[in-house]
Amino acid sequence: MKNTTFDRHAVFFLMALIMTAFAACNTPEPEIIDKPTDTPEKWQFALSPVPVDPATALGQGGQVTLTVESPEDWTLSSNEDWLSVEPASGKAGRTTVTVTTLPNPDKFDHFALLTLSAGEQQQTDTFYQYVNIFRKAKWKTANLTNYVTVTYDQNVAFTRMFIVVPFPESNQYQEIRNAAYGSAKMEHSPEGVGYLYYYATSNFLPSGSRFIDFNYTVDMYYVETNFDAITHPDLPYDTKTGWYKRYTSTTVAAGGFNMINPNHPWVFETSNMLWEQSGHNRIEYARLCYEYVASHFTYGMYDGTNSVEEIIDRMSGDCGNQHAIWLSLMRKKGIPARPIVMNSPEDFSHVRGEFYVPGYGWIPVDVTYHQGGGDYFGKFTKDNLVVMNTEFAFKISNPKETYTCNLLQGLFWLYGISAKGEVNADFHFGYRN
The CATH number of residue 86's host domain is: 2.60.40.10
Q: Cβ atoms within 10 A of the Cβ of 362, count?
A: 23
pLDDT of residue 50: 37
Mean pLDDT of the region 263-267: 96
Domain assignment present for 123: yes
Domain assignment present for 72: yes
pLDDT of residue 40: 38
Domain assignment present for 89: yes
Mean pLDDT of the region 359-369: 94
Domain assignment present for 256: no
CA neighbor of 336 nearest in space, from 250, 222, 409: 250
Tell me: the pLDDT tens digits for 366-395? Answer: 999 999 889 999 999 999 999 999 999 999
**Distance (Å, whole) CA 25 – CA 22:** 5
Which domain does 65 fall in, by range? 59-129
Tell me: the pLDDT tens digits for 84-137? Answer: 999 999 998 888 888 899 999 999 999 999 898 988 888 888 888 999 999 999
**Distance (Å, whole) CA 139 – CA 151:** 38
pLDDT higher than 50, residue 11: no
Domain assignment present for 114: yes
List own/partner pairs for 244-248 with CB under 8 A and 24 or more apart.
244/30, 244/336, 246/191, 247/331, 247/336, 247/337, 247/338, 247/356, 248/331, 248/334, 248/335, 248/336, 248/337
In this prediction the pTM is: 0.84
First and final C-alpha spacing in the chain: 25
Total domains, the chain: 1
pLDDT higher than 50, residue 35: no
Question: 22: pLDDT confidence band, cut at 50, 70 and 90?
Answer: very low
pLDDT of residue 44: 52
Q: Which percentage of the chain shows pLDDT scores above 90?
A: 67
**Distance (Å, whole) CA 398 – CA 163:** 9
246, burial (CB in 10 Å: exposed 0-12, middle 13-18, buried 19+): middle
Tell me: the pLDDT tens digits for 281-306? Answer: 999 999 999 999 999 999 988 776 78
pLDDT higher than 70, residue 21: no
Question: 13: pLDDT confidence band, cut at 50, 70 and 90?
Answer: very low
Question: 47: pLDDT confidence band, cut at 50, 70 and 90?
Answer: very low
Domain assignment present for 64: yes
Domain assignment present for 106: yes
Tell me: the pLDDT tens digits for 204-237? Answer: 999 999 999 999 999 999 999 999 999 888 888 8
DSSP 8-state assignment for residue 231: S
pLDDT of residue 124: 86
Domain assignment present for 306: no
